[in-house]
Structures are given as structure tokens and as C-alpha cells.
Chain A
Amino acid sequence: MSKVDAFPGGKFDQLFVNLGPQHPSTHGVLRVGLTLEGEVITKAEPDIGYLHRGTSKLAEARGYHQCVALTDRWDYVSAMPNNLALCLAAEKLLGVEIPPRAQHLRVVMCELNRIASHLLFLGTYGIDLGAFTPFLHAFREREMILDLYEMLCGARLTYNYIRIGGVMADISPEWASKTGEFLGFFKPRMKEYDDLLSFNPIFLARTQGVGLISKEAAVDWGLSGPNLRGSGVDYDVRKSDPYSGYDRFDFSVPLGKAGSCWDRYYCRALEMRQSVRIVEAALAGLPEGDIVAKGVAKTVKPPPGEAYAHVEASRGDLGIYLVSDGGPSPYRLHVRAPSFVNLAILQEMLVGCKVADVVAILGSIDIVLGETDR
């Protein structure tokens, strides 16, 4: 890099630093152009698109069932809610009724995936702040969930399990018992994470009061998921716009107070506990019956129309806007990716922070670049 670029505007008290696209803390291929004055950031420009695969475009030449496989590639650390969002939109267009057993299974899978995703967040956030050990402890548990998924549908990341009209496969009694075993193993571990990381004084010093987002700013920037709830805004799609029978389960929505990095972090830690509750209740009250709705053909041709469906994915409000012109493939597929919308606030939040806080803030927003770029 030439010297002119290094000092923007010819000002020698300002330094331009490229954070990424290859950087251990950007969690993928994100580039943030930082302008520094000493260690303080005066300007931040997030640059995305390195992982843009154009799934909206790809969907226009594929059948509806094939599109479900594309959704796995958005948020690859929690792919179940992605499957679910597309299926919900397609089912709205088709007007099919989903059997209760399939709905319960969808809830179980999405909540397990939320745990897996939040575990990944928890571990990588520790690494961002220099604590390496919680990462592998979190991965130990995450590995079990992935094992469960492998047992269920053969895939560990890109499940393609939730299908239009129901789910791919029923669970076996062995699977249910293993899941119960996992939950029994996992519950005491959450206190372990709190002891190891959440209430560590250094961790608190690094995250509390850092990266503050006010209630108003969070709503204004359209944040969703734990980022919004960390600022104390009570918005959870599972509660406010229930889908797939979430209104039948008893769970609470943890809210943060200050909107700092720690609040967002701890919101996720508490959400894992709620997810455990939901999974336990759903498995205990699993109704008998079919797992696929009747009348869903191999080639789906929904009548012309438009549908909007959104789910509470692990990272926030994942919305699917699906348009059908009566043909065998979607006429238009738009994805409201929570990571994409959440990331936009970075350009405002980083200004005035220290360089060392960039990783704390970026980590607490918890983006997955596959979803940001789609």
C-alpha cells in the first residue's frame, strides 16, 4: 500500500487500516475499512459481498423443493430456521396445512439449532476477546447437536431437513433418548460458561459499556434477534407473529438492559436456556401422526400470488418474500437476512471506539457472512 493511501486526505495524524477480508475476527470474509486517529476510530466502512452467490437469482431457475437446499447456504451455522422460513412462505402460497407432529419436529430442530448457533457465538466471542478455552468447551456441546442432526438427516450443517409440506424424516426413539441425554449433559454446562466467561471481571470490563445501542437506534436500524433484545426491545417473531405452533409453548424472551456488548452476549446465553425448555416440552408432548402434509407433489406449482413469511432465526428476524407466477420455480425470492440488516449499524457504532473494541462489537453483533451476502 502506498503512503498516500495509508494517510487519508493527506492527513498524517490519520491512519487507514483494512480489517479483513482475511482477519481472524471478522468471522468470514468481511472487510472493514477503518480510519484511525491514534487508537480511536474516526470512520468505519463495512464492505461486504465477498461471499455473494446470488441465491435469489439461482432460485428463479430451480423448483421449489430445490430452493430449500439453497437456503441451507445462507446461515450455515443454523440452517434449520432458513429451511423453515422458505417452507412457510411456500406453504402459504400453496395453502397446505402442516400436521402437528411435523410442526413439533420443526420447533425441536429450530431450537436445537439455536442452541448450536449460540454456542458457536459464545465460543468465538471468547476467542475474539482472547479467551480460548470456552471456545472448545462450547464446541464440545455443539458437536453433540451436530451428531444428533447427523443421526437424524445425515448432514451436519446443510440439513435440508424441513421440506415444503412437512419434514424429511421422523425421529427414532433412540434419537429422542439421545437428545434427552444431551439436554441433561448440557444444562449444568451453562453455569460453567457463566463461571468461565460471562462473569469474568476482565470479560465484563471488555464488554460492559462497550458498543452501546439505544432502544431507539436499535429499532431505527432495523436490528433484530438478540441484538435488538439486548437493547431492551421486546421483539421476538416467535411471540409477536407466531408460526409453526410456537404459541403452544411456554417460554420467555430474555431482554437486556443497557444494550452493550455484554447484554447482547448474555441475551444469547439466556436464550439457550429457553430453547432447552422448548425442546424438552416439544419432545415430551410430541403428537402422533403424519410428518408430511397430504397433497404436496414432487413438482410444486403454487397458484399465482405473493407471500411473506418470517421466522425468528438464531440471528434475528429472517423474512422470506416469495412471488409465484404459477410456474414450477419461484418468480421472485427476496430474503431479509438478519445478519445483513444487523451489520449496517456497524458504520455508526464503531466511530469513536478503540481498535481493540472493534472485535468486541463485531463479535457481539454475531454475523454470518454467508447470510449477509447470500
Chain B
Amino acid sequence: MNIESLVADLAAKVPGVVLAADPSYVKSYPTMRLSSAAYLLPAASFLKERGFDYLEIITAVDWLGPVSPEGYTRGGRNPHPFSAPEAPALVAVKNPAAAYKPAFDMLWCLANIPARARLLLRLEIPREDPAVPSLTGLFKAADWQEREVFDLLGVRFEGHPNLKKILTPDFLQGHPLRKDYVHVKDRYDE
């Protein structure tokens, strides 16, 4: 399969999709950037028609800035009197070259098994009340992967039939992979 022609077809069919510029390019795979969440479903269904029917990953990155190690480890541990002091955690240093912004960068990876090709879709959404359309109607593989992203990052997938926590326990407050996550004391803290 000629990936360039497919990319051109996709750009022609869904106008809000462009081949990503270099900085947001995911290494060694062709990456397409969506300009709005509204283009996700048309783009995904177009790709599915063209044989990209294997949804490999769904994930997201919180671009708020590096996480501060303070506040997200469980407190209340009693250090042993003879043990060496704990190594200081790596201090969160903002890299001036990195493009931090208050946004989530979504990522979908679709694969075409017979053609041995895969294509990545990116979409930037705001951090406040993040929501994207769910792909569960097109790919059943999206079911649990979207639940995972919802659980860990708090991105709502509209149209998901069963959007519940999946990995973290029910009493855990917040979404742990958000960069501003602070651990709320629960019954397992001392």
C-alpha cells in the first residue's frame, strides 16, 4: 500500500486532517494531525474502509509540564532508624526546548494487517473538560483502552457505552497520570 497516496486521499476526504509537521511526529510512523475532534470519526471510518481495521493503541499525553514528585507518593511511611536516607527524588526541571501547553495530545494508532502498514492520528484537546468522540462504534478494541485513558487521564469519550474506572480502585480521587495530580489521603494512608 502506498502510504503517501492514502494520506493524500484522507486529506482530500476529510479536510481537517494534515500530515503532522516534524515536532509532533511519532518516530518512524506516519502521523496525521486532526484539527478538530469532529474529524476523528470521519477519518477513522475512512481509514477502516481502506483496510486499517486494527486499532492498536489509544492514549493521551498531558502537556502541562513535568510532574513534581511532591505530593504524589503515598505519605506516612515510617523510615527505619538505621536505614540510609532515601535518595532525593529527581527534581522536575522544565526543559525550555519542550512545547508545554495546557492541553492533552490524543493519539490513536491504526494498523492495516495485510498491508503491514500503520498510521497514527493525533488530536489536541483542551485540558478543561476534555472530551473526544468514542471509537467503540467502529472498533471494539477501543472499549477497554478508552476506559483506561478515562481512568488515568480523565478524558471523556462521548458515546462510550460503559465509561467507568478500570484500573484504579473506586476510592481513588482524581486521575493519576495528569501532571497536576495530587494524592488525596485515603483509608490506606496511615
Contacts and interface: CB of A to CB of B under 8 A. Distances in A.
On whether A and B touch (CB less than 8 Å), the answer reads yes
A329 B58 CA distance: 22
A326 B109 contact: no
Interface stretch (B11-19, B26-34, B78-86, B126-134): B26-34
Contacts of A52: 167-169
Given A61-B90, A307-B27, A331-B61, A222 B152 contact: no
Contacts of A257: none
Given A61-B90, A240-B116, A48 B72 contact: no
A319 B168 contact: no
A323 B109 contact: no
B95 A325 contact: yes
Interface of B: 23-29, 53-57, 59, 61-62, 66-67, 69, 72, 89-90, 92-93, 95, 97-100, 107, 109, 113-114, 116, 118, 120, 139-141, 143-145, 148, 152, 165-169, 176-177
Interface in A295-338: 303-308, 310, 317, 319, 321, 323, 325-329, 331-332, 334, 336
Interface of A: 48-49, 52, 54, 56-57, 60-63, 92-93, 217, 219-222, 233-235, 239-241, 303-308, 310, 317, 319, 321, 323, 325-329, 331-332, 334, 336, 340-341, 343-345, 348, 373-374
B69 A61 contact: yes
A56 B175 CA distance: 13
Contact of A56 (B29, B93, B109, B152): B152
Given A233-B113, A323-B61, A332-B61, A61 B98 contact: no
A327 B95 contact: yes
Contact of A308 (B26, B141, B165): B26
B35 to A, nearest CB: 19
Given A222-B141, A306-B25, A49 B152 contact: no
A328 B167 contact: no
Nearest to A56: B177
A56 to B, nearest CB: 6
B109 to A, nearest CB: 7
What is the predominant secondary structure among interface residues of chain B facing chain A? loop
A93 B168 contact: no
Contact of B113 (A235, A307, A331): A235
Given A93-B27, A240-B113, A61 B118 contact: no
Contacts of B25: 305-306
Nearest to B93: A327
Contact of A49 (B69, B118, B169): B169
Contact of B141 (A221, A326, A373): A221
18 contacts: A48-B167, A62-B90, A217-B140, A221-B140, A222-B140, A239-B116, A241-B116, A304-B99, A306-B27, A306-B61, A310-B56, A323-B61, A332-B61, A334-B59, A340-B144, A341-B145, A344-B140, A348-B140
Given A222-B139, A305-B27, A307-B26, A49 B166 contact: yes
Contacts of A239: 116
B109 A319 contact: yes
B177 A57 contact: yes
Nearest to B61: A332
A218 to B, nearest CB: 10
B4 to A, nearest CB: 19
Nearest to A54: B176
